[in-house]
Amino acid sequence: MDAIPANASKVVQTATARVHDVVKQRILNGHYQADEYLRETSVANELNVSRTPVREALRELVSEGWLEAIPHRGSRVVAWTAKDAREVFELRLVLEPLAVRLASTQISKPCFTYLETLATQMESLTEEVNTNAESRNGIASLNHEFHRTLILASNNQRLANLLENVVRTSVIHRNFGNYDLANLRRSMRHHREILEAIAAGSPEWAENVMRAHLLAAQALHVPHTNTPSG
């Protein structure tokens, strides 16, 4: 709940931090594309700073996995392959259930209430999905907030950091575009069931619903039709 950014008191951020945020945003929204080299002087000119803070920001983004650096050649946006998607999913499938299990035993009352609010809002938007064009975007951002809140409630800062980096890198390619109403409703039902499991004091239940939740989502992105017949 009370997730206070480390530098909340200080409104002024350093130039390096600004460059870091702007470049990350531009990678996310596609302004910088895969395999594109980021020239230090170009970025510096665009943002009206010198090369020094740009270099420092790029180095951070390399450590976080957004860029890859080749000595004496520069930094470029990492390309997203099928192998990357697989790797991230394998990790999410163990890390996020872990987060839910841990959160189950130590979540605070207000945090739980907040999750219920998010779930309710998402359920409302789900029923509007055929009439409201913006519905899917709303669900996507509420969904992200739901998962993020749950992860923070795990009381494991490293786990939260890992998931933040891992999931954010993949979020570029993820939305609710290929969810029909039935799939959306199941997804919402999962959220609600996770909360029920937590309320019932069963970490294992919560953990397994989360796994089902992720696997159901995966199945939509990688269809593997296997309709039993006969």
Partner DNA sequence: TTAGTCTTTTTTGTATGCAATCTTCGTTGT
Partner DNA sequence: ACAACGAAGATTGCATACAAAAAAGACTAA
210 binds a copy of itself (CB under 8 A): no
- Judged by CB under 7 A, the residue of 38, 103, 119, 198 near DNA is 38
SS3 call for 67: strand
- Judged by CB under 7 A, the residue of 29, 72, 131, 223 near DNA is 72
Q: x/- string (CB under 8 A) for a copy of itself, residues 100-119?
A: --x-----------------
As given in the structure block, the two tokens for residue 158 are 């490293």
- Judged by CB under 8 A, the residue of 60, 127, 145, 164 near a copy of itself is 60
Q: Residue 145: which of a copy of itself, DNA, none does it interact with, CB under 5 to 8 A by kind?
A: none
φ/ψ of residue 47, rounded to 5: -100, 5
Is 168 in contact with 161 (CB distance < 8 Å)?
A: no
Q: Residue 87: which of DNA, a copy of itself, none does it interact with, CB under 5 to 8 A by kind?
A: a copy of itself
Q: Which is nearer to a copy of itself, 57 or 119 (CB)?
A: 57
As given in the structure block, the two tokens for residue 116 are 């219920």
Distance CA 62, CA 82 (A): 20
Distance CA 209, CA 214 (A): 9
223 binds a copy of itself (CB under 8 A): no
Q: Which is nearer to a copy of itself, 12 or 133 (CB)?
A: 12
Q: x/- string (CB under 8 A) for a copy of itself, residues 136-165?
A: --------------------xxxx--x---
Q: Which is nearer to DNA, 72 or 224 (CB)?
A: 72
Identify any residues that bridge with 8 across adjacent strands, giving them in sequence order: none
37 binds DNA (CB under 7 A): yes
The amino acid present at 27, given as its one-letter code, is: I
- Judged by CB under 8 A, the residue of 19, 23, 88, 150 near a copy of itself is 88
DSSP-assigned letter for residue 209: H
Is 24 in contact with 63 (CB distance < 8 Å)?
A: no
128 binds a copy of itself (CB under 8 A): no
Strands (E), 19-135: 37-38, 67-70, 74-77
Tell me the chain's radius of gyration from C-alpha atoms: 20
Total number of residues that touch a copy of itself (CB under 8 A): 31
